[in-house]
Structure 1
Amino acid sequence: MNKRIALAGNPNTGKSTLFNLLTGLKQHTGNWPGKTVAHAEGELTTEKATYQIIDLPGTYSLYSNSEDEEVARNYIIFEKPALTLVVLDATSIERNLNLALQVMEMTSQVIVCINLIDEARRKGIEIDAKKMSEQLGVPVILLSAREKIGIIQLLKTIDNMMERKITTKPFQIAYSDEIEQKIKQLEPHIKKVFGDDLPTRWIALRLLDNDQSLFDELKSYLGQDKQTSIEKVIYSNKERSYGA
């Protein structure tokens, strides 16, 4: 059973504080293979199991704008952690939701952790976690890693997610009719190459963005003998785009 948990979030959301609280002294740091980007890993033990937590670089998005973003994106897509915790700042939810929505396009196994809830309450900000959960289609936990608020609920939710006791249906952004039509055209071709191994809708969106960094990663993921198959999809997409 895959017991790895990825921890994602914008900078300054208290993500590292949450990581330190969950892992205690059972952690170590290092660099990603072939990268200058540092990362931390640690162990979390709950009532049900012990999990490995990977603290991803703090990023504002998961596109190919920086090495940090590529590292975080690649881990979620290619390493396929069993669960991804997305940490949001309770005082700046609207700005932080961009990253959460991107992660939910990549994987359905997501818990949204709204951190710094103590600061939000001092500012008179009230957050309806139940309503947010209904709208986002994934569990939403209010917490303060600094004050240790909501941690027990988070641990129970992690166990329930890992045991598949919680069914998620992540909110999907609806794009323009033109983009949605192109996604529908691309998805069958992508599925032929990757099957259910990778999220076809997300890959289609990145192909439409002409994300060269991701193209290279996809070819590397497939291996030399299967690279031609994804190249055909990439080039057919470019022809489709130019002809639009």
Structure 2
Amino acid sequence: MNNSYRIALAGNPNTGKSTLFNAFTGLRQHTGNWAGKTVSLAEGTVRHKEKNYQIVDLPGTYSLFSNSVDEEVARNYIVFEKPDITLVVLDATSLERNLNLALQVLEMTKNVIVCINLIDEAEKKGIKINERILTRKLGVPVIKISARNKIGFPMLLDTIDRLVSGKIECNPVQTTYNEEIEEKITTIESKISNLVGNTISSRWLALRLLDGDKALLTEFNRRLVLNDQVRREA
């Protein structure tokens, strides 16, 4: 039985993502550059219910469209490194703005937990958030926490455990675009699916190719070449 899992932390800058990382990992962390980039990723570990979790703190970004090195590193980690869970940290006081990133992640990968941080600050401002409604609409667990005060941590850790154990299943909502875009997605998605199988969301890849994401195409081709070399050498 596998008792080791990887969790990627994604979120906008200033959502408390690194505070959550520090609260999770304490002194069990280190930092290193990622894949030849100048961007540093912090990594740490946490143990819960006889399971070990490697926590990776991705660069804070407002989107994952590869408009900057930070966005490219965060996007590539989620898509190509395939963490067991991607935990998207949102600011409870700016939820509408933060949800844009969450919806992008939901298009990319299935096992997602949306973590609404700074819930104590939101309550001081009279902001009420119904996480059950959000869970139903997004199709993934939504947990309210305060990373600074460790409010909601037992529920978050229990949800992580239940997700990796297969006791709950995520069914992320998919954004529906206008008729013209949806027709183009349908046209090329089956061809992409034949190429990538279940390794990457073919719908998401179709969207990025339609948007002319050259950086993604370059990275995808690079990894295809590397995988081919590995197979030949095996």
Q: Fold match, TM over 0.5?
A: yes
Letter in 2 for 1:18: L
1:33 Cα shift?
2.3
Which residue of 218, 221, 226 corresponds with 2:220? Answer: 218
Equivalent residues in 2 for 1:164-203, closer than 5 Å: 164-203=166-205
Equivalent residues in 2 for 1:10-49, closer than 5 Å: 10-49=12-51
Deviations 1:117-176 (A, max 9, x none): 000000000000111100100000000001110001000000000011111111111000
Give the match's secondary structure for 2:74. Answer: helix
Counterparts of 1:118 and 1:60 in 2: how far apart (Å)? 23
**Structure 2 residue ranges without an equivalent (≥5):** 229-234
Which residue of 73, 89, 92 corresponds with 1:90? Answer: 92
Which residue of 118, 121, 134 corresponds with 2:120? Answer: 118
Please name the residue that 1:236 is paired with.
none
The alignment-based identity, stated in percent, is: 62
Q: CA RMSD in A?
A: 1.2
1:225 Cα shift?
8.8
Deviations 1:172-199 (A, max 9, x none): 1100011001101111110111111111
Counterparts of 1:221 and 1:44 in 2: how far apart (Å)? 30
- Indicate conservation of the 8 Å contact 1:113/1:140, yes or no: yes
1:204 Cα shift?
0.1
**Structure 1 residue ranges without an equivalent (≥5):** 227-244
Deviations 1:22-70 (A, max 9, x none): 0111100111121110110000111230110110000000001000000
Counterparts of 1:170 and 1:130 in 2: how far apart (Å)? 15
Letter in 2 for 1:178: E
Please name the residue that 1:144 is paired with.
146
Please name the residue that 1:230 is paired with.
none
TM-score, normalised with respect to structure 2: 0.94
Give the match's secondary structure for 2:93. Answer: coil
Which runs of 4 or more aligned residues in structure 1 lie more than 3 Å from their structure 2 counterparts after TM superposition? none
Q: How many matched pairs? A: 226
Counterparts of 1:164 and 1:54 in 2: how far apart (Å)? 22
Letter in 1 for 2:195: V
- Indicate conservation of the 8 Å contact 1:61/1:99, yes or no: yes
